[in-house]
């Protein structure tokens, strides 16, 4: 089966875009929850059909970002520790966004998108 690395990279880009939009305040928690449900399902479906390492690496990175994004968006404002929890999730999102970007860049440099 031909690797679907281009599709995986597109889904990773969607995850990065959603995370950046959330961090910038452009997307509500409800919007993030809805979008990440579909994005997670797409990533899971793609992962089931891919065994090659380059494709799996970008799928896994995007999946980590999607899970963190969903958790960040569902922090409970009634929780007295919510602000600190939200800040920790934001820090993790920043790191995962950078990781997904670097993974995509390295895969491109290695010629996987050619």
**What pLDDT score does 2 carry?**
53
- CB contact at 8 A, 59 and 50: yes
Please provide the average confidence, as pLDDT, over all residues in the chain: 91
Report the alpha-carbon distance of residue 33 to residue 48 in Å, rounded: 23
Residue-wise pLDDT for 16-70, tens only, equals: 999 999 999 999 999 999 999 999 999 999 999 877 888 899 999 999 999 999 9
Domain layout of the chain by residue ranges: 5-109
> With DSSP H G I counted as helix, E B as strand and the rest as coil, what are the percentages for the chain, rounded to 5?
75, 0, 25
Task: Give me the percent of the chain exceeding a pLDDT of 90.
Answer: 69
More confident residue, 95 or 76: 95
Split at pLDDT 50, 70, 90, the class of 1 is: very low
**What pLDDT score does 76 carry?**
74
């Amino acid at each position: 089966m031909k690797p679907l690395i281009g599709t995986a990279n597109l889904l990773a880009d969607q995850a990065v875009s959603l995370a950046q939009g959330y961090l910038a305040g452009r997307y509500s928690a409800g919007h993030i929850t809805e979008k990440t449900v579909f994005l997670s399902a797409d990533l899971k479906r793609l992962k089931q059909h891919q065994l090659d390492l380059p494709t799996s690496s970008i799928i896994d990175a995007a999946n980590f970002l999607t899970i963190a994004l969903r958790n960040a968006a569902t922090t409970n404002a009634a929780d007295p520790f919510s602000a600190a929890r939200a800040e920790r999730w934001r820090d993790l999102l920043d790191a995962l966004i950078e990781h997904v970007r670097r993974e995509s860049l390295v895969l491109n440099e290695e010629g996987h998108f050619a």
